[in-house]
Amino acid sequence: MLTVKQIENAQPGAGQYKLFDGGGLGLNLQVYPAGGKIWRLSCSFGGKRHVKSLGFWPEVSLKEAREKAAALKRDVSGGKDLSVPEPGPEKFFRHVALDWAGRFLPGLADKTRIKNRTNLEKKILPHIGDLRPDEITPPVILNAVLRPIEAAGKIETLHRVKSLLSQIFRYAIANGLMKRDFTLDLKGAFPPVRTGHRAAVTDPAELGDLLRAIDVYRGGRTVALALKILPYVFVRPGELRNAVWEEVSLEEAVWRIPAARMKMKTAHSPA
């Protein structure tokens, strides 16, 4: 039988590994390379093997994991099919995330849609898809999803996945399945993305994809309007964001940006 001491002393390895609990329940603790530890129950139903996630250590203690495992084993003995998701607010995060994806991904440009779908299916769902929304906490997100990406040195992907999680969490909140966006608690937990110069989009087809993506953007109204203005004025996002009405002459149809607000300290105005 597992002991609390063994669990506390279990160190991350190069790959995932399991610590098996005795007692015939099929309970084990999976240890991730980044340090996260999740309880899983392995059982058979209808001639097939099923694995159920029971929550993360230490949020779910050894005693609680055994109690959950025993209850699920009794359910299976009584004929309950564990492959059928539970209804209502107890539904798995996988179903919430896929519901969000079905509603919002189709409107994105092809490249963005494919990238988000790939991150969802490979970086998020394998780790927390079998949890209920009320089992997800900042440490769960940090250790099970984001730390492994950071360990691989993919900082840009990490921030993309964090942003994707935030969108799904807000959707879950709107549907009464979660109480807050836990990615907000992880602000400052990771280094920023370091980017170099990006080439301008000059290919007509790629430009068309960009403009169509802007047209179907479903974020905040202010951001949506700013994205639609930018292609007409060719200024930096910060210059548009900090614009004031005093810089605009409606009579002349001219926007003059003072040198103090320009990167090269040269005023932006008509020749």
The answer to the question of residue 235 being in a domain is no
53 shares a domain with 32? yes
Q: Of the candidates 154, 186, 218, which is a domain's last residue?
A: 186
- Residue 45: its pLDDT value, please? 63
Helix (H, G, I), strand (E, B) or coil at 35: coil
Count structural domains, the chain.
2
DSSP 79: T
Q: Is residue 21 part of a domain?
A: yes
Predicted pLDDT at 89: 41
- Residue 18: per-residue pLDDT: 85
Instruction: Please give the pLDDT value at position 90.
Output: 44
Sort 12 into a burial class: Cβ within 10 Å, 0-12 / 13-18 / 19+: middle
- pLDDT score of 47: 65
What was the pLDDT predicted at 87? 44
Secondary structure percentages of the chain, helix, strand, coil, to 5: 50, 15, 35
Which of 46, 145, 43, 57 lies closest to 93 in space, CA to CA? Answer: 145
50 falls within a domain: yes
Which residue stretches of the chain have pLDDT < 70?
14-15, 32-36, 44-48, 50, 55-56, 78-91, 107, 194-198, 263, 269-271
Residue 125 belongs to domain spanning: 90-186
The CATH number given to whatever domain includes residue 107 is 1.10.150.130
Q: Bin 92: left if φ > 0, else alpha if -120 < ψ < 50, else beta.
A: beta
Q: Is residue 253 domain-resident?
A: no
Residue 109 lies in a domain: yes
Kindly state whether residues 20 and 34 are assigned to the same domain: yes
d(CA 253, CA 255): 7
- 102 and 125 part of one domain: yes
CATH of the domain at 23: 3.30.160.390
- 57 and 135 both lie in a single domain: no
Q: From 27, 55, 84, give the residue that closes a domain.
A: 84
> Do 100 and 66 fall within a single domain?
no
- Domain end, chosen from 186, 207, 237, is at 186
**Is the residue at 27 inside a domain?**
yes
Same domain, 152 and 120: yes
Is 196 within a domain?
no
Q: Looking at the domain assignment, is residue 139 inside a domain? A: yes
Same domain, 102 and 52: no
3-state per-residue secondary structure call for 139-202: HHHHHHHHHHHHHCCCHHHHHHHHHHHHHHHHHHHHCCCCCCCHHHHHCCCCCCCCCCCCCCCC
Q: Do residues 74 and 116 both lie within one domain? A: no
- Is the same domain home to 95 and 176? yes
Q: Exposed, middle or buried by CB within 10 Å (0-12, 13-18, 19+), for 78?
A: exposed
Sheet with 17-20, edge to edge strand ranges: 17-20, 27-31, 37-45, 48-57
Q: How many C-alpha atoms does 155 have within 13 Å on its Cβ side?
A: 8
Q: According to the model, what pLDDT value does residue 168 have? A: 93
